[in-house]
Structure 1
Amino acid sequence: MAKPELKDTYPLYLNNKAAQPNTDLEVTDKFTGEVVFRTALATPEIIDEAIAGAVRAAEPMARLASYQRQDVLQHCVDRFTERFDELAYALCVEAGKPIKDSEGEVTRLIDTFRIAAEEAVRMYGEVQPLDISKRADGYMGIWKRYPVGPCSFISPFNFPLNLAAHKIAPAIAVGCPFVMKPASKTPLGALIMGEVLAECDVLPEGAFSILPASRDGADLFTEDERLKLLSFTGSPAVGWDLKAKAGKKKVVLELGGNAAVIIDKDADLEDALERTIFGAFYQSGQSCIGVQRIIIHADVYDRFKQMLVEKTSSLVAGDPKDRDTFIGPMISEKEATRLKGWIDEAIEGGATLLTGGKLDGAMLEATLLEGVDKNAKAMNEEAFGPLAILQTFDSFDDALAEVNRSTFGLQAGIFTRDLFQMFDAWDRLEVGGIVINDVPSYRVDNMPYGGVKDSGLGREGIRFAMEDMSEIRNLIIRRK
């Protein structure tokens, strides 16, 4: 891939238009630590103006024909495809994501908008008979979905393209104007999306604003009563606090996890090894559905442990721009130091370090632990980094109980060939999704995705997000 050039400065997008009120936000190359570009930070006045614009745009957005909304989304698909290398390189630099993984995320960005373009013309309603008793004789009902109105989106640093897309694309498909706050560490992907959307004259003024912002004024994204829905992806502590402040608006939360994968005794261990390594250490473990707990049947524990240690210790770490790199930097040295502290704490509490554990700036080695105390942070909280913990089980009931012991419930993976156990797990696991013969890290962008317990509220996936971004409007007809 030819190295695309990044600009020195980037604007924010206010009511569909580029604006450069300042260049206050510095964004760094997460591997070198150097500032690579600057972008504008939205002031409280700018955020207020964006919300007012979204309110004005609500009715004309709702009246856009479905083919017009589809055309906007298809334009995005075409332009993102044309700018594929630029998007991948920008992501690699601002997030420290290995270039192969960055290219994979751009592919998912395009998929997500393509799915939304298809769903934009599938907003069906229903004719409902109401004459279920004598008093309703002669009545019928018809209902349709109608956009809920101005939406507020807050997206995270770890998938700054695709997780922003999972908010923006369904909003356009359903006809909701929006204001978005991208993560300050990784704003560029969302700003490029704004640049592409700004090319679409059919969108009414105020249809979108994409606003990097500091804490000053950011409460407007959550608390302003003019906004009818808040969709937040990020940490549980922040997410649940925002929900408490959101007032009457709908709230969708996609939060954290410490996902588990079960390796049963009948699993194909070679296949399970490749997928578990991917699930645990893909993009340095900075995924809410990354494999943090590996629960292995006692009959194959020693063998699978040896396989995991050998494979993990051979992973290539380094510059994410190098195509051979698998482990890049964490998002910041602060986060890497935090997780190194959890690893050290677990070892002090009796855990055994099987491999990894060394820290150099924001680069933390892929790390495997066993014998971790069940009260340790590394076991119970979201690591969000290159750490996985090995556990053993004798009965499948025990394995399911261990998965459910977590306060999180996003997704779980099970390597098994037992059909009964598959359906048993589906009934009993307290998670939003169960992946059979793969890791919990697997996601397809049209499926319902989200968690229970501390992992969140509501579901993403284009069609399901469109349901959250709309409300049923009923028409009752008296025919005689």
Structure 2
Amino acid sequence: MLAKRYPYYLANQPVAANADLDVLDKYSGKRATRVAMADAATVRKAIVAAHKARGPMAAFPPDARRDVLEHCVRRFSERFEELALALCIEAGKPIKDARGEVTRLIDTFRIAAGEATRIDGELIELQVSERTRGYRGMVKRVPIGACAFITPFNFPLNLVAHKVAPAIAAGCPFVLKPAAKTPVGALIIAEVLAETDLPKGAFSVFPCSNEDANALVEDERIALLSFTGGLVGWDLKARAGRKKVTLELGGNAACIVDADPGASLDHVVERLVFGAYYQSGQSCISVQRIVAHEAVYEKLRRKLKAAVGRLRMGDPRDERTFIGPMIDEDAAKRVERWIDDARKAGAKRLAGGARDGNRLPAALLENVPRDADLYRKEAFGPVALLEPVADFDAAIARVNDSDFGLQAGVFTARLDHAMRAWDRLEVGGVVVGDVPSFRVDNMPYGGIKQSGLGREGVRSAIEDMTEPRLLVVRAG
């Protein structure tokens, strides 16, 4: 069970504000809890506090930052089932997947704890001519300053972790706005941070309206804005002024299955089903397009159709459930509409069924027109498209026929094809031997085109949250 009410956190302190936000159980539709909601004045106070905390956070020793992160690892481990249940309720994520996300939350903070004492600089040889003899150069990385973080609903623990943990490791104070539909996990993280000796003003965490959050985007005291969400991120970047901006804006990820996939088709199907339908497809790197060589297409088609039809949809608290609810009924209606539009344009549905509120059965389609919304845009739901190609180069071209470029998967036994995919696929990451939905929390993660700019992953995020500072010394 969730607590009856959660406070928000302003400058490290819990605040039980009068304005409440209802958080729904995404399966039952009933109110699960209430959280305190911040207003525009609170947002401004948080920015002021973070700006004042720049010096104390920069002076907070690296080993002390590590100790804070290790404290979080211990406390998240102790509260593991509480975090998993909160995620299951507020996001509708099947409980097995919820436990997996809590594990990744812990992993991300553990990785950041290790990196906190490894933010190294470099020596630069300046004696490149007679004029510069006797000069020495050194560079260290220093915290960029106050950061603003905005996170989405689909990974309300781990996507928060990928911003918060690197900020602490780097020595940056921050203000976090979690998604209004799923704020509980972020507030539990803040509760744990409040147990530490982070400097006053080091963190503020609260849900608020998009309008009240404008200062997080526009205030010049914020040095970096990190946003994960939809294409509205480009508008935020345009309004952000001189601050540094990193964006992760989703995709419509494709996976190639070569004539010789390098693994049994049963294994390929197992991974494709996971990648496409895990947490009802509500992942930026969910498998949306499956591009299969015509030599294996028919056999793959039969196996996929059967596997998708066996997926169990139901209560996310049930250990047997694979497909839980989508985040709300509007999201389910949108995916349903895109499927219907594609079928009217000639697509064939191989698996799927009728929507029930915000629950949509796993769908598999083929012959989807390449100008359909279901093909061109991010579905962000439990649906995948299957299409044949004549050769590997055609598969690469088909993957690249997208406005997005986050990650792509490639099943192939041929090393030259794997290297060709790495060279030519227009994405931020290529996963060979698995689906694009694979991610480890220490790897660089991000995309190109409409998928965003910059990279997440703990070390990559620390690099974004720090800047080089040069020292030149004339020695004689």
Instruction: Report the TM-score when normalising by structure 1.
Output: 0.98
1:410 paired residue number? 406
Return the alpha-carbon distance in structure 1 between the equivalents of residues 334 and 361 of structure 2.
14
Shift of 1:357: 3.7
1:104 paired residue number? 100
1:152 correspondence with 2:148: yes
* Segment drifting more, 208-217 vs 286-295: 208-217
Give the 3-state SS of the residue equivalent to 1:276 in structure 2. helix
Give the 3-state SS of the residue equivalent to 2:368 in structure 1. coil
Shift of 1:223: 0.7
1:176 paired residue number? 172
2:218 aligned residue (214, 223, 245): 223
Return the alpha-carbon distance in structure 2 between the equivalents of residues 82 and 22 of structure 1.
31
Give the 3-state SS of the residue equivalent to 1:26 in structure 2. strand
Return the alpha-carbon distance in structure 2 between the equivalents of residues 328 and 105 of structure 1.
15
Shift of 1:197: 0.2
1:254 paired residue number? 248
1:358 paired residue number? 354
1:210 correspondence with 2:205: yes
Q: How does 1:118-133 map to 2 (within 5 A)?
A: 118-133=114-129
1:26-76 deviation digits (Å, cap 9, x = unpaired) = 100000000111111111110000000001111010001110000000000
Return the alpha-carbon distance in structure 1 between the equivalents of residues 101 and 7 of structure 2.
23
Equivalent residues of 2:19, 2:38 under 8 A apart: no
Give the 3-state SS of the residue equivalent to 2:260 in structure 1. coil
Q: What amino acid sits opposite 2:218 in the alignment? A: E
Shift of 1:215: 2.5
1:466 correspondence with 2:462: yes
1:428 paired residue number? 424
Return the alpha-carbon distance in structure 2 between the equivalents of residues 44 and 200 of structure 1.
27
Give the 3-state SS of the residue equivalent to 1:426 in structure 2. helix
Q: What amino acid sits opposite 2:258 in the alignment? A: D
2:290 aligned residue (288, 294, 301): 294
2:371 paired residue number? 375
Unaligned runs of 5+ in 1: none
Return the alpha-carbon distance in structure 1 between the equivalents of residues 92 and 22 of structure 2.
15
Q: What amino acid sits opposite 2:214 in the alignment? A: D
Equivalent residues of 1:260, 1:413 under 8 A apart: yes
Return the alpha-carbon distance in structure 1 between the equivalents of residues 326 and 303 of structure 2.
25
Q: What amino acid sits opposite 1:421 in the alignment? A: H
Q: What amino acid sits opposite 2:204 in the alignment? A: S
Return the alpha-carbon distance in structure 2 between the equivalents of residues 358 and 466 of structure 1.
45
Return the alpha-carbon distance in structure 2 between the equivalents of residues 357 and 404 of structure 1.
30
Equivalent residues of 1:13, 1:194 under 8 A apart: yes
Shift of 1:118: 0.2
Q: How does 1:325-364 map to 2 (within 5 A)?
A: 325-364=321-360
Give the 3-state SS of the residue equivalent to 1:363 in structure 2. coil
1:243 paired residue number? 237
Equivalent residues of 1:286, 1:384 under 8 A apart: yes
User: Stretches of 4+ moved more than 4 A in 1?
Assistant: none
1:67 paired residue number? 63
Q: What amino acid sits opposite 1:247 in the alignment? A: G
Shift of 1:22: 1.9
Return the alpha-carbon distance in structure 1 between the equivalents of residues 302 and 235 of structure 2.
42
Return the alpha-carbon distance in structure 2 between the equivalents of residues 272 and 431 of structure 1.
21
Equivalent residues of 2:446, 2:454 under 8 A apart: yes
Shift of 1:292: 0.1
1:440 paired residue number? 436
Give the 3-state SS of the residue equivalent to 1:389 in structure 2. strand
1:120-175 deviation digits (Å, cap 9, x = unpaired) = 00011111110111111111100000000000000010000000000000000000
Shift of 1:191: 0.2
Give the 3-state SS of the residue equivalent to 1:473 in structure 2. strand
Shift of 1:23: 4.2
Instruction: Report the TM-score when normalising by structure 2.
Output: 0.99
Give the 3-state SS of the residue equivalent to 1:145 in structure 2. strand
Alignment length (residue pairs):
474
1:454 correspondence with 2:446: no
Equivalent residues of 1:125, 1:143 under 8 A apart: yes
2:162 aligned residue (127, 149, 166): 166
Give the 3-state SS of the residue equivalent to 2:53 in structure 1. helix
Return the alpha-carbon distance in structure 2 between the equivalents of residues 466 and 229 of structure 1.
12
Return the alpha-carbon distance in structure 1 between the equivalents of residues 210 and 267 of structure 2.
45
Return the alpha-carbon distance in structure 2 between the equivalents of residues 357 and 224 of structure 1.
47
Q: What amino acid sits opposite 1:50 in the alignment? A: A
1:38 correspondence with 2:34: yes
1:353-396 deviation digits (Å, cap 9, x = unpaired) = 11104200000010011001110000000000001000101111
Equivalent residues of 1:22, 1:39 under 8 A apart: no
Change (3 A) 1:357 1:243: farther
Return the alpha-carbon distance in structure 2 between the equivalents of residues 321 and 211 of structure 1.
27
Shift of 1:216: 3.3
Q: What amino acid sits opposite 1:370 in the alignment? A: E
1:380-420 deviation digits (Å, cap 9, x = unpaired) = 00000001000101111000000111010000000001000
